[in-house]
C-alpha cells in the first residue's frame, strides 16, 4: 500500500514540476524489494497471482481515502502499519529493507509535518477504518 502512495507522490511531484525526488525513488526501490522478499521461494505463477491479489486488496481498502491528500494517505498506512507492529502481527527490523524505506519516508514527510499534524485525527480514524476493512476481508487478524 505504501508503494502505491509513494508512486502517486512521485507522479504529483513530476506534475507540479518539482522534478525528480531521489528519496522517493529509493523508497520505491526498497518497498519493491521488501514486497518481494517473502515471495522468493514461490513459483512465478503463484507470485503473479499474489501480487494481483495484493493490488486489488490495496485498491479496495484504500478507495475510501483516495480523495484525501497524499500525506494523509501516507499517514493512514503508516499508522495502520504501526498498529500491526504493536499488535505483534508483523515485525519490522530496524536494519530491514522495509525499515530503511520507513526511515527515509519519515525524513521526507517531516518537511510537511506542521501541515500533516493538523490532520492526525483524520489519519488515525482512516487507519482504524483501513484495518477494519482488511480484517473484514480476512487479513491481518489477531490470532
Kindly list the domain boundaries of the chain, sorted by start residue: 2-136
H-type alpha helices, the chain = 2-15, 22-36, 44-62, 70-86, 97-110, 113-117, 120-136
| The length of the chain, given as a count of residues | 143
Per-residue pLDDT at 20: 59
16-60 tens-digit pLDDT: 766 657 888 898 899 888 888 888 999 999 998 988 888 888 888
Per-residue pLDDT at 115: 77
Amino acid at each position: 500500500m505504501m508503494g502505491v502512495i509513494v508512486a502517486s507522490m512521485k507522479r504529483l511531484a513530476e506534475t507540479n514540476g518539482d522534478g525528480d525526488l531521489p528519496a522517493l525513488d529509493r523508497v520505491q526501490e526498497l518497498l519493491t524489494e521488501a514486497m518481494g522478499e517473502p515471495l522468493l521461494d514461490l513459483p512465478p505463477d503463484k507470485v503473479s497471482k499474489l501480487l494481483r491479489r495484493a493490488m486489488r486488496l490495496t485498491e479496495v481498502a484504500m478507495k475510501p481515502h483516495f480523495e484525501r491528500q497524499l500525506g494523509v494517505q501516507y499517514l493512514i498506512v503508516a499508522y495502520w502499519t504501526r498498529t500491526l507492529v504493536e499488535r505483534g502481527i508483523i515485525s519490522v527490523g530496524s536494519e530491514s529493507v522495509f525499515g530503511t524505506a520507513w526511515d527515509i519516508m519519515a525524513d521526507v514527510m517531516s518537511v510537511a509535518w506542521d501541515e500533516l499534524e493538523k490532520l492526525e485525527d483524520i489519519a488515525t480514524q482512516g487507519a482504524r477504518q483501513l484495518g477494519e476493512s482488511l480484517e473484514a476481508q480476512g487479513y491481518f487478524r489477531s490470532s
